[in-house]
Amino acid sequence: MTASGELRALVFDVFGTVVDWRSSLIRQLEAFGAEHGLGEADWAGLVDAWRGRYKPSMEKVRDGRRPWTVLDELHRESLLTLLPDFDLELRLSEPEVDWMVQAWHRLDPWPDVPPGLARLHESFLLAPLSNGNVALMANLKRHAGLPWDCILGAEVARHYKPDPEVYLTGLELLRLAPAQVMLVAAHNYDLAEARRHGMKTAFVHRPTEYGPGQTTDLKAEADWDFVVRDMEELAERLCPPPAVSS
Amino acid sequence: MTASGELRALVFDVFGTVVDWRSSLIRQLEAFGAEHGLGEADWAGLVDAWRGRYKPSMEKVRDGRRPWTVLDELHRESLLTLLPDFDLELRLSEPEVDWMVQAWHRLDPWPDVPPGLARLHESFLLAPLSNGNVALMANLKRHAGLPWDCILGAEVARHYKPDPEVYLTGLELLRLAPAQVMLVAAHNYDLAEARRHGMKTAFVHRPTEYGPGQTTDLKAEADWDFVVRDMEELAERLCPPPAVSS
């Protein structure tokens, strides 16, 4: 365990902060619908309703109403509940439902993420601290080319954010002091919990994560250590400028 | 959970199989000794004795004589016990001991590993299944440029190999069936345990892991699914040949 306060690792919220889940899912489902003659379905509505079930589904695990269940399973259950509302219940086979659940493993990063993370990776250890399970994060890493050094987050802690165990288990696995680790997130509640445990905090603006009508997390709601437009600005502020070649 | 038997992921033993711990440690300690005026110390002897304490130190955790303790801590304890035998006890500061323990985070891969793993990574999810803790594996990944997609192994299972929990937790985190996952290792005991849980097995020859006088694991002791010279041969056998450009 290193005691120094020097920043060593950046851990990231993923859905919304690193990947644009909404556009990526709508794009995948629209292509799927066109291919399967389901073009008229309200795919954007389904995606919004699906994500709407995200917090309530984790809440049942967080408050003990059900045992630990990974996000892939929660995604699947939520989707099955919603299909009748979208007139899709009888029109999809089980492998097709599986394919839709796996769409969360194929989300695209925001455009600033590949260059920003590549530069941050030169100076810091990088890891997701997400509610997504390890397999989901590993597949997303492969799909989006994310330079993670390890995978932290909900599954290794068997708790969902913002339960303290997620942050504390992440710190334990890194063997770093809280002040040596910064959470990078587009969500104020997540940063508040990280700060409560002594971690550094960086807020990234993602004003269209929930689409054009987004009403939450439009601005930093506390004096986070960094407030940035995107990952490229974070890299500019955290990393030394490249040496000028003579 | 995917039910198909198609191979999807390769998990690797690391010390000896992926990295040449012995030569890397001797090289680091010799350079350290030269720099600190300790050139006459028996560094190879210290490294061999240090590794000699590896299995006994884990045994106390495995049989319940002590609670879960990460490998970094076991390495540190073993080193402190050995320093008097090598006349180094009074000649090293605490930061210098820390630096020596961290030498395990800076081990070099065998020469076939970078090209072999790069090719395997195109077709399979890759992860370490090591007794090394997550921070050690993450630092080793950065040092040696290993293309891991996630980090499995002892710490996330809170058990040391060959306890079944390490293999079973790895499979659970991957959300794959045992037959979809292959352990790649230079040690027969490790492969035997993986096979017992239904995993595929690949034996890699590392006849000089323990130096010129090695007496163990000189050959495959069972009909493992693959027996290979090195990671490049494994890639040749598992991956389709590159398309011929016209």
In this structure, are B100 and B146 located in the same domain? no
CATH of the domain at A31: 1.10.150.240
**A contact residues 138-157, partner B, Cβ 8 Å cutoff:** 138-139, 141-142, 148-151, 155-156
Domain end, chosen from B55, B88, B105, is at: B105
pLDDT of B119 reads 97
Q: Is residue B3 part of a domain?
A: no
In this structure, are A155 and A136 located in the same domain? yes
Task: Choose between B91 and B114: higher pLDDT.
Answer: B114
**B contact residues 93-132, partner A, Cβ 8 Å cutoff:** 125, 127
In this structure, are B134 and B164 located in the same domain? yes
Residues paired with A126 in a beta bridge: A10
Q: Specify the 3-state DSSP secondary structure of A131.
A: coil
In this structure, are A190 and A72 located in the same domain? no
Contact (Cβ atoms closer than 8 angstroms) between residue A150 and residue B138: yes
Domain end, chosen from A105, A126, A143, is at: A105
Q: Is residue B76 part of a domain?
A: yes
Q: Is residue B93 part of a domain?
A: yes
In this structure, are A98 and A158 located in the same domain? no
Rounded to whole angstroms, the Cα distance separating A175 from B139 reads 11
In this structure, are B142 and B226 located in the same domain? yes
**Residue B189 predicted with pLDDT over 60:** yes
CATH of the domain at A116: 3.40.50.1000
In this structure, are B84 and B156 located in the same domain? no
End-to-end CA distance of chain A: 40
Which among B142, B174, B176 has the least Cβ separation from residue A149?
B142
Which among B72, B151, B173 has the least Cβ separation from residue A150?
B151
In this structure, are B90 and B43 located in the same domain? yes
pLDDT digits (tens, 9 = 90+) for A20-74: 999 999 999 999 999 998 878 999 999 999 999 999 999 999 999 999 999 999 9
Q: Is residue B222 part of a domain?
A: yes
- Written as six digits, the tokens of A37 are 């003659």
Q: Specify the 3-state DSSP secondary structure of A152.
A: strand
**Mean pLDDT rounded to a whole number for chain B:** 95
- Residues of A with Cβ-Cβ distance to B142 under 8 angstroms: 125, 149
Q: How many structural domains does chain A have?
A: 2
Q: How confident is the model at residue B246 (pLDDT cuts 50, 70, 90)?
A: low
Q: Is residue A192 part of a domain?
A: yes
pLDDT of B116 reads 98
**Residue B199 predicted with pLDDT over 90:** yes
| Residue where the block lists tokens 């594996």 | B137
What are residue A52's phi and psi, to 5 degrees? -60, -30
pTM for this entry: 0.95
DSSP secondary structure string, A9-72? EEEE--BTTTB-HHHHHHHHHHHHHHHTT-TTS-HHHHHHHHHHTHHHHHHHHHTTSS----HH
Q: Is A133 in Cβ contact with B173 (below 8 Å)? A: yes
**Residue B244 predicted with pLDDT over 90:** no
Q: How confident is the model at residue A3 (pLDDT cuts 50, 70, 90)?
A: very low
pLDDT of A240 reads 75
In this structure, are B195 and B231 located in the same domain? yes
Q: Which helix (H) or strand (E) holds B47?
A: helix B43-52
In this structure, are B67 and B117 located in the same domain? no
Q: Residue B178 sits in which domain range?
A: 9-20+107-238
Mean pLDDT over B6-16 rounds to: 98
Percent of chain B with pLDDT over 90: 91
Domain end, chosen from A65, A82, A105, is at: A105
In this structure, are B79 and B119 located in the same domain? no
Q: Is residue B205 part of a domain?
A: yes
Q: Is A151 in Cβ contact with B151 (below 8 Å)? A: yes
Q: Is A125 in Cβ contact with B134 (below 8 Å)? A: no
pLDDT digits (tens, 9 = 90+) for B207-241: 999 999 999 999 999 999 999 999 999 999 999 77
In this structure, are A221 and A158 located in the same domain? yes
Contact (Cβ atoms closer than 8 angstroms) between residue B162 and residue B193: yes
pLDDT of A245 reads 64
Q: How confident is the model at residue A236 (pLDDT cuts 50, 70, 90)?
A: very high
What are residue A187's phi and psi, to 5 degrees? -125, 125
Q: Is residue A245 part of a domain?
A: no
Q: Is B156 in Cβ contact with A149 (below 8 Å)? A: no
Q: Is residue B64 part of a domain?
A: yes
pLDDT digits (tens, 9 = 90+) for B55-101: 999 999 999 999 999 999 999 999 999 999 999 988 999 999 999 99
